[in-house]
């Protein structure tokens, strides 16, 4: 018996100039007790469909056609029915637990208000119910924590509170919109386990929206693939992931970095910019290519960094050790991975390597020179041109007021002030073509590009000084998988052709496996283990590494 029936649903956003079809003729059926995944890249319309079910589409979006039936009731028909169903029959979980809770009300107040909105019970009963619920979702000392404010909980705990709020009136349908995207791997697996358990215990119908194919593989019974508002295909998860029928699904699945093996390149079926083929990297002609010497380009010894709470108190009581006595070496021409969950200190290390932070103690050697000992900015400049960084967020790492050619010209002019303008132009064009962008991109502004294209601009900017070491801080974590695959391929090509050394930072283990020769695992600022990539994945030594490997969502789990 079908519990929720989405019939021919279309959603339009009427803009001033055009109407955008965010969803086109979507048909999905969901039964009780099953988890249906909704997967797609950004802009595919998956969240729009979820919001349409509870009639919370952002303005000016409107359901233009179709209907949504829950049991025998058409819930898309009138506003009053759906308002009554919200919270009572349909629970919703949003992506970011940091922003889902009202910061100035205690979680108890928020729970009681929600319970009393739907159930006719007094405050004491509501409180009992709330506390039992908090226990059920795994919050310890629920009686005490009941009176806490959201900021007193960690991210994972907050997401549990959010789940308890979504479930407090025993809804029959749960919609989870990227419920674990903002969380670390270990917490992600706990939250997904919790959702799976509650689905069984309460016989819920669950819609799980995610872009993570690993999560889909491990959690869902059936999956629907969306692209640009179209439902591409829907079916049993195993069937879709193993034998996808549609070309788009195939390309999506092949873009996902495998967790169980290292592949040399990602197969790209649909390319973002079809017009450019990257057969030769043009900047090679200008590149004073050095042959790889068998040496350690970067040596990090006993590196520590503490952030003090206040300027005056230098005692260790308040200070947080962001990086604690870390040592490792990076061989020239190799990729070195730094892996860890949030707060593990991986970005802090990167910023010390590129000299944006001063270490509290310890030394960083670059090409056998102790960079931490250099005091003069002029002497540092020599090293800065050899070390370049690519940041995580392609939207905030490019200055929106500058054109692309100005952005790329800046580092070139800094290190080579005498360059002729015609030479500069052709250099910029070569750089852009090397990262598979057209020459015309030079005179456009960053906002005219997609996230993946912007990250290519970032890479071009980093290459402008002809660096020897490229520090990539989560370069693809803000991107969709298919774009990620293309960027990773590009980085691999560039490294091979230009003999780059790469320090690759990521929380995403499968990605690191594809990219790196050697990996260091960090936890709370301390180094857990350093070993060759395949060795680390096959024979992890440290318990924490074993834990991480066990918990990461694996798309291959579908074969079991």
Partner 1 sequence: MGDPINNMVGEETSDEERAELRETLGLTDPIHIQFSRFVVNASKGEFGISYQLRRPVSELIIERLPATIELVLISALIALVSGTLLGVYTGINRKGFLSDFILAVSLLGVSLPTFVIGILFIYLFAVILGVLPSFGRGEVIDLGFWSTGLLTISGLKAIILPSVTLSLFQMTYIIRLVRAEMMEILQTDYIKFARARGISEKSINYKHALKNGLIPVITIAGINIGTLVAFSIITETVFQWPGMGFLFIQAVQFVDIPIMSAYLVFIAFVFVMINFIVDILYYFIDPRIRVKGDVTSG
Chain positions contacting partner 1, by CB under 8 A: 54, 56, 83-88, 90-92, 94, 96, 99-106, 113-114, 117-118, 140, 148-149, 151-154, 156-157, 162, 165-166, 187, 190
Q: Nearer Cβ to partner 1, position 79 or 421?
A: 79
Q: Nearer Cβ to partner 1, position 103 or 417?
A: 103
- Closest contact distance (angstroms) between CB of 63 and partner 1 is 17
- Closest contact distance (angstroms) between CB of 147 and partner 1 is 10
Residues 495, 496, 501, 506, Cα dihedral to 10°:
50
Q: Nearer Cβ to partner 1, position 27 or 152?
A: 152
- Closest contact distance (angstroms) between CB of 169 and partner 1 is 8
Question: Which residues are CB-neighbours of 365 under 8 A, at least 6 positions away?
Answer: 296, 298, 299, 300, 301, 371
- Closest contact distance (angstroms) between CB of 130 and partner 1 is 13
- Closest contact distance (angstroms) between CB of 134 and partner 1 is 13
CA–CA dist 182, 125 (Å, integer): 33
CA–CA dist 556, 560 (Å, integer): 8
Place of tokens 């049993």: 236
Q: Nearer Cβ to partner 1, position 105 or 276?
A: 105
- Closest contact distance (angstroms) between CB of 156 and partner 1 is 6
CA–CA dist 156, 140 (Å, integer): 13
Q: Nearer Cβ to partner 1, position 102 or 203?
A: 102
The two structure tokens encoding residue 243: 């034998």
Whether the Cβ atoms of residue 477 and residue 392 lie closer than 8 Å to each other: yes
The two structure tokens encoding residue 123: 């405050």
Q: Nearer Cβ to partner 1, position 130 or 398?
A: 130
Q: Nearer Cβ to partner 1, position 54 or 232?
A: 54
- Closest contact distance (angstroms) between CB of 161 and partner 1 is 11
- Closest contact distance (angstroms) between CB of 155 and partner 1 is 9
- Closest contact distance (angstroms) between CB of 78 and partner 1 is 15
Nearest to 207, CA basis, from 217, 218, 197, 195: 195
The two structure tokens encoding residue 554: 């694996």
Q: Nearer Cβ to partner 1, position 57 or 471?
A: 57
Nearest to 6, CA basis, from 56, 49, 47: 49
Nearest to 524, CA basis, from 374, 324, 338: 324
Q: Nearer Cβ to partner 1, position 363 or 524?
A: 524
Instruction: Transcribe 260-289 into DSSP letters.
Output: SS--SSPPPSS-S-TT---SS-GGGGT--P
- Closest contact distance (angstroms) between CB of 109 and partner 1 is 9
Q: Nearer Cβ to partner 1, position 155 or 258?
A: 155
- CA triple 417-422-425, angle to 5 deg: 85
For 492-505, give the secondary structure using H, E and C: HHHHHHHCCEEEEE
Maximal CA-CA distance, the chain: 79
- Closest contact distance (angstroms) between CB of 99 and partner 1 is 4
Nearest to 514, CA basis, from 491, 541, 494: 491
Neighbouring C-beta atoms of residue 300, cutoff 10 Å: 24
Q: Give exposure, 438-452, as e/b (b: 16+ Cβ within 10 Å).
A: eeebbebebeebbbb
Q: Nearer Cβ to partner 1, position 184 or 430?
A: 184
How distant, in Å, are the alpha carbons of 40, 128, 144, 170, 206 from that of 135?
34, 11, 11, 15, 21
User: With the C-alpha atoms ordered 247, 251, 253, 258, is the resulting torsion angle positive or negative?
Assistant: positive
């Amino acid at each position: 018996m079908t519990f929720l029936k989405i019939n021919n649903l279309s959603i339009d956003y009427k803009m001033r100039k055009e109407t955008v079809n965010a969803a086109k003729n979507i048909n999905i059926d969901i039964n009780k007790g099953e988890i249906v995944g909704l997967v797609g890249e950004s802009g595919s319309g998956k969240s729009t469909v979820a919001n349409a079910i509870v009639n919370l589409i952002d303005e000016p979006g409107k359901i233009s056609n179709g209907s949504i039936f829950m049991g025998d009731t058409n819930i898309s028909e009138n506003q009053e029915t759906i308002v009554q169903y919200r919270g009572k029959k349909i629970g919703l979980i949003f992506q970011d637990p940091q922003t889902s809770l009202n910061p100035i009300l205690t979680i108890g107040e928020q729970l009681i208000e929600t319970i009393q909105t739907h159930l006719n019970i007094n405050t004491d009963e509501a409180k009992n119910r709330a506390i039992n619920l908090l226990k059920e979702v795994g919050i310890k000392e629920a009686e005490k924590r009941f009176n806490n404010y959201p900021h007193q909980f960690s991210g994972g705990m907050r997401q549990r509170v959010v789940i308890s709020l979504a479930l407090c009136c025993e809804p029959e349908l749960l919609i989870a919109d990227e419920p674990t995207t903002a969380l670390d791997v270990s917490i992600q697996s706990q939250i997904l386990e919790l959702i799976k358990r509650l689905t069984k215990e309460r016989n819920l119908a669950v819609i799980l929206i995610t872009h993570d194919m690993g999560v889909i593989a491990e959690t869902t019974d059936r999956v629907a693939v969306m692209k640009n508002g179209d439902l591409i295909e829907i079916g049993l998860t195993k069937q879709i992931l193993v034998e996808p029928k549609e070309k788009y699904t195939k390309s999506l699945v092949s873009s996902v970095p495998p967790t169980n093996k290292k592949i040399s390149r990602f197969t790209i079926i649909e390319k973002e910019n079809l017009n450019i083929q990257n057969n030769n990297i043009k900047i090679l002609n200008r590149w004073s290519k050095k042959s790889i010497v068998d040496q350690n380009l970067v040596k990090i010894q006993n590196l520590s960094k503490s952030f003090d709470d206040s300027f005056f108190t230098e005692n260790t009581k308040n200070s947080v050790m962001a990086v604690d006595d870390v040592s490792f070496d990076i061989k020239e021409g190799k990729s070195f991975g730094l892996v860890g969950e949030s707060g593990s200190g991986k970005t802090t290390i990167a910023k010390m390597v590129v000299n944006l932070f001063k270490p509290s103690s310890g030394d960083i050697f670059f090409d056998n020179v102790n960079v931490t000992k250099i005091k003069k900015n002029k002497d540092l400049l020599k090293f800065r041109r050899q070390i370049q960084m690519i940041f995580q967020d392609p939207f905030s790492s490019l200055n929106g007021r500058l054109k692309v050619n100005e952005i790329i010209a800046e580092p070139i002019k800094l290190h080579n002030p005498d360059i002729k303008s015609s030479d500069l132009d052709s250099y910029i064009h070569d750089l852009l073509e090397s990262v598979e962008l057209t020459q015309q991109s030079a005179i456009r502004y960053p906002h005219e590009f997609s996230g993946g294209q912007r990250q290519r601009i970032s890479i071009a900017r980093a290459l402008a000084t002809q660096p020897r070491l490229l520090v990539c801080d989560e370069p693809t974590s803000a991107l969709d998988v298919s774009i990620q695959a293309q960027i990773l391929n590009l980085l691999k090509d560039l490294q091979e052709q230009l003999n780059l050394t790469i320090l690759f930072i990521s929380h995403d283990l499968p990605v690191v496996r594809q990219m790196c020769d050697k990996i260091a695992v960090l936890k709370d600022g301390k180094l857990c283990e350093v070993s060759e990539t395949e060795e680390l994945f096959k024979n992890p030594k440290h318990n924490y590494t074993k834990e991480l490997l066990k918990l990461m969502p694996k798309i291959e789990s579908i074969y079991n």
